[in-house]
Structure 1
Amino acid sequence: MSMESVLAKMEFRKFEASIVDFFSKKNGYAIVLTEDTNFTALLRQTLNKHLGLRNKCFSQVSTVEETIKQIRKELAAGKKLLVFIERIHRDKEMAFLVRKIKKDYSKCKVFITMTEAPREQFILLHELGADNFITKPIAINTFIEKVAHSIKPQGKLGQLIDIAKTMLEQGAYEDAANVARTVLNAKPDLSSAMLVMGDAYKGLKKYEQAHKCYLGAGDSAPLFLDPLKKLADLYGVAGVKKRQLDCLTKLDKMSPLNVERKLDIGHIYVELGNYVSADVYFEGALRQANKEALDYVGNVSQQIASAYEKRDPARAEQYLRKALRAKGDNLDKGDVDTFNSLGIVLRKQGKWRQAIQEYKRALQISRRDENLYYNIAVASAEGKEFEQAAAYLRKVIQLNENFVRTEPAVAYNMGLIFFRASDLDMAKMHLQICLSLDPNHASAKKVLSLM
């Protein structure tokens, strides 16, 4: 056997040892969302037969809901997780699931399994945080190498960068900068180290140095998205909206399927007063969200509505109605927030009767939601229907007697509505609760003085 073969074999043994250590000593576990029996057979063969792991190392799930439930369960049990996700599951792109996992359960390592992927989809998944990609069919040795690299960087510089990132998460910016500096001394043009250095400077509020690091990272890796993203964030912190917009639009051209970025661009255009351009990006965000998941459409629409809520509530209304239409007959409790947002923008336009209609539609989905009854009460009061408003407040109290203590404004609104409905005892009680929450609430004191 040649020396090269011996060294390659030794290197591969390190990969195997990393995986065995992860599952047997570091409480590792894998979750697999796929209907591909060949892939689950490969995983079982790799872990149980090839690596000799005897304990149950993974669970196969069949739906997105099961995936999230299993992630929560295993994390609660102290597991470190590898999550394998089929890129297209049951004819639906899984980018939205990758986004959710990386946002809500960031410590999970996410692997995308696929036979092929369009370039734009590949870029999006990488940008959303996918840790590695597994193109099927795959040999066991290649599979082991990919998993090992994702579990633990095999090179010393990669390990140092991971250490520096942990320091950033802990707010130890000086320490992170020192580690990044050590890496850059060894490899001056390493863009990932420049980004860590830039993040450390940003944490230290040394924005000019951070700016230089991000620009340097971009020069070292012109096709790398992260430097532009970091620059966009930095310009956002500095309030330089036009330069931030320039970075974001460049990123959108490089990775055109990113919904959240289209929303960010739209928000900036709204702030700049350019509603026509804002709508172009908002519509693009909605189209892409609709391709990913219907539930995601409501979330995206609410973000668009929040951009327009104060400046153009009629426009906000259009987007929220569009989201509800997209769901059709598939409305569920997850859509209640969209109905609440729609009610708010209708009331801002003086359309209190329409707002009540939308709140009542939401009640068909969530019949015991005290927030909806409270919103109906407030909308009725805006229409000077005070007795009707008071009746709905009594329903709120019936469902949750502590609702009045949510915040001083809620207690005051309830007290004022009861006062206007001539129920003075209830008015006094709620206004006194308001003052117990905020002793300096001038409006509550004024109404009490009238009683």
Structure 2
Amino acid sequence: MPGQYDHIVQQFLEEESGAIVCLTEDAVFARSLRNTISRIIGFKGETLFPFVRTGPALDKCRELSEGGTPFLVFVERMLDERPNTDFILRLTREFPEARVVVLTWEATHDTVAYFFELGVRRVLVKPASADRIIEEMAMALDPPSELKKLTDRCGRLLGRGEFDEALEVTDRILLLKPDSARGLTMRGDALMAIEETDKGVQSYMAAHEAKPIYMEPLIKLAAAFAAMEDERALSYMQQLDDISPLNPERKIDIAEQHLMRGRTEEAEAYLDRSVEVAEREHLSMVGDLTERIVDAVAAQAPDLAVKYLNRVIDSKRVLGRDDLAHFNRLGIILRGEGKWKEAVEVYEKALSIVKDDPVIHYNMGLAYWEGNERMTALKCFERAMDLDPQFYAGSIGAALNIGSLYLDLRQFADAEPFFLHVLDLDPENATAHKRLQDARDRVAPVLERRSREQEQAAASGTINVDAMGGDSGGLGKRGKRSGGKVFNVDETSGGKASKKKKKKGGKGHRLDF
């Protein structure tokens, strides 16, 4: 058997011109790997590429992939005394064709199951003899058999959406091996794609029975039952979590199932575990994972959304512009709960990190407005426009809000261009039409009154304080921005998607960025 393994590796390196990338700080293993390869093929050109840092290793994998060179990667489970899961995840997702062998000093069931779920081919426990290294390489390379050729072909057909042809190939796979878990799973995929749902589910179940440790049919069953809102989805998700407990995203899936059934405490327990796993295994995922948690719980359990946003903010040693999204989301949720003062505190903390973000100033203005502190709200809006006069361009919600506050404060002329901008984006917007007309109806009497006062002042020889720059009396203090013209801005070029929220007191709508 050792000779057979040598032949497989030799064929990969010489006939296929394959390469080996090794990411390890273990100098002993790196030397042993080099000696092992030398024993098989000798020193024939560049075959082994050793690295101790993830960046250069990833660059080499990208270079090999772009050049069409097949490659195998040895990668440490721990690097620089931290889990290397982020790199392994990126490697398997960016280069699905790579054969990956994880190196570790000890292999637990939990870690091995999760690595296989990520697409890792083999796990090699160190220290390892030369023969053991060769065996693991050969098993990872998995030279094509007739069965493998058929499953690879079926996978390509499924990827191209040729489901009838894929079904025919699964017939041939199951003829060669009737209990092939992979073949049964692929058959389920094809059946589900042509909306033969019951038959697809039966095929997944048969695959699971054929090989209970194979996770793919369980994943497909959980997804199928979740789409049908069937309670069995939760059961399959929990089975998967038992097999592979280091997957933080599945724990969110389970939490969502509990939330759908009103079981908030059970949901919170799974979400806590999800964040704990991410903080331990996937530092780069924590922010995105928190956003997903907030999306999952905001509607049904906003207190949990606040908890996890605070947790991700508090976990950062250094906060920067990239973290503003978390502050912004937290402030919006607090406002939704009527906690406008707490929202203001969140926005103030965000501005202590980045002072020049117009969206934070704008959303802080919304919070003050909801607290009926209208003049402070206006100052926030105007500060946002001072930082970026066009920050609201393309956003119907922001323009409508700014115009409405000016209208509310009787600064009619200042309100007008914002309503015009809304109508430029949405000519049928009834709210903007009505408020624009309100502003124009009120500006005319003010102009008439102003004209009479100026005539009386001229006749009496007195100075009209209003004419010299006193109270605007409805004409506006800032003047018509951009001359009151309609802003011709493409909706895709500015303004972020807005979230609608009713104003207190029934005064219309306020929309967040």
User: TM-score band, normalised by the shorter chain?
Assistant: 0.7 to 0.9
Q: 1:310 aligns with which of 299, 314, 325?
A: 299
Are 1:35 and 2:25 matched, yes or no?
yes
Amino acid at match of 1:251: L
Instruction: Find the counterpart in structure 2 of residue 353 from structure 1.
Output: 341
Instruction: Find the counterpart in structure 1 of residue 201 from structure 2.
Output: 211
CA distance in 2, matches of 1:172, 1:440: 44
Matches within 5 A, 1:88-237: 88-103=78-93, 106-140=96-130, 142-144=132-134, 146-147=136-137, 149-151=139-141, 153-237=143-227
Are 1:440 and 2:431 matched, yes or no?
no
Instruction: Find the counterpart in structure 1 of residue 446 from structure 2.
Output: none
Q: 2:51 aligns with which of 39, 56, 60?
A: 60
- How many angstroms does 1:29 deviate by? 7.2
Matches within 5 A, 1:185-334: 185-240=175-230, 242-327=231-316, 329-334=317-322
Q: Give the TM-score taking structure 2 as reference length.
A: 0.74
CA distance in 2, matches of 1:383, 1:312: 23
Are 1:409 and 2:386 matched, yes or no?
no
- How many angstroms does 1:349 deviate by? 1.0
Asked if the contact 2:20/2:49 (under 8 Å) is kept, the reply is: yes
- Distance change >3 Å, CA 445–CA 196, structure 1 → 2: same
Matched pairs, number? 438
Stretch moving more, 15-24 or 218-227: 15-24
Structure 1 unaligned segments of length 5 or more: list them: none
Asked if the contact 1:23/1:57 (under 8 Å) is kept, the reply is: no
Task: Summarize deviations over 1:375-400 as a string: whole Å, max 9, x none.
Answer: 32333333344444444445545655
CA distance in 2, matches of 1:352, 1:323: 21
Asked if the contact 1:19/1:151 (under 8 Å) is kept, the reply is: no
Task: Summarize deviations over 1:7-59 as a string: whole Å, max 9, x none.
Answer: x74674343222445556xxx673x4421223333455566785455247636
For 1:404, what is the secondary structure of its paired residue? coil
CA distance in 2, matches of 1:387, 1:33: 59
Q: Which has the higher helix share?
A: 1
Instruction: Find the counterpart in structure 2 of residue 450 from structure 1.
Output: 438
Q: 2:10 aligns with which of 3, 6, 16?
A: 16
CA distance in 1, matches of 2:199, 2:152: 21
Stretch moving more, 355-364 or 273-282: 355-364
CA distance in 1, matches of 2:77, 2:149: 28
Asked if the contact 2:30/2:50 (under 8 Å) is kept, the reply is: no
- How many angstroms does 1:197 deviate by? 0.9
Amino acid at match of 2:193: G
- How many angstroms does 1:288 deviate by? 2.1
CA distance in 1, matches of 2:127, 2:324: 43
Stretch moving more, 289-298 or 180-189: 289-298
CA distance in 2, matches of 1:235, 1:72: 38
Are 1:337 and 2:325 matched, yes or no?
yes
Q: 1:85 aligns with which of 75, 83, 87?
A: 75
Asked if the contact 2:101/2:120 (under 8 Å) is kept, the reply is: yes
Asked if the contact 2:85/2:282 (under 8 Å) is kept, the reply is: no
Asked if the contact 1:414/1:430 (under 8 Å) is kept, the reply is: yes
Amino acid at match of 1:15: V
- How many angstroms does 1:236 deviate by? 1.2
Stretch moving more, 314-323 or 189-198: 314-323
For 2:171, what is the secondary structure of its paired residue? helix
- Distance change >3 Å, CA 116–CA 356, structure 1 → 2: same
Task: Summarize deviations over 1:268-322 as a string: whole Å, max 9, x none.
Answer: 1111111121122122222222322445444433333322211221232122223
CA distance in 2, matches of 1:237, 1:402: 42
Stretch moving more, 263-272 or 145-154: 145-154
CA distance in 2, matches of 1:73, 1:363: 42
Task: Summarize deviations over 1:239-292 as a string: whole Å, max 9, x none.
Answer: 21x110111112222222322111111111111111121122122222222322
Stretch moving more, 75-84 or 346-355: 75-84
CA distance in 1, matches of 2:32, 2:413: 71
Asked if the contact 2:20/2:74 (under 8 Å) is kept, the reply is: no
Aligned-residue Cα RMSD (Å) equals 3.3
Amino acid at match of 2:366: V
- How many angstroms does 1:185 deviate by? 1.2
Q: Give the TM-score taking structure 1 as reference length.
A: 0.83
Stretch moving more, 153-162 or 259-268: 153-162
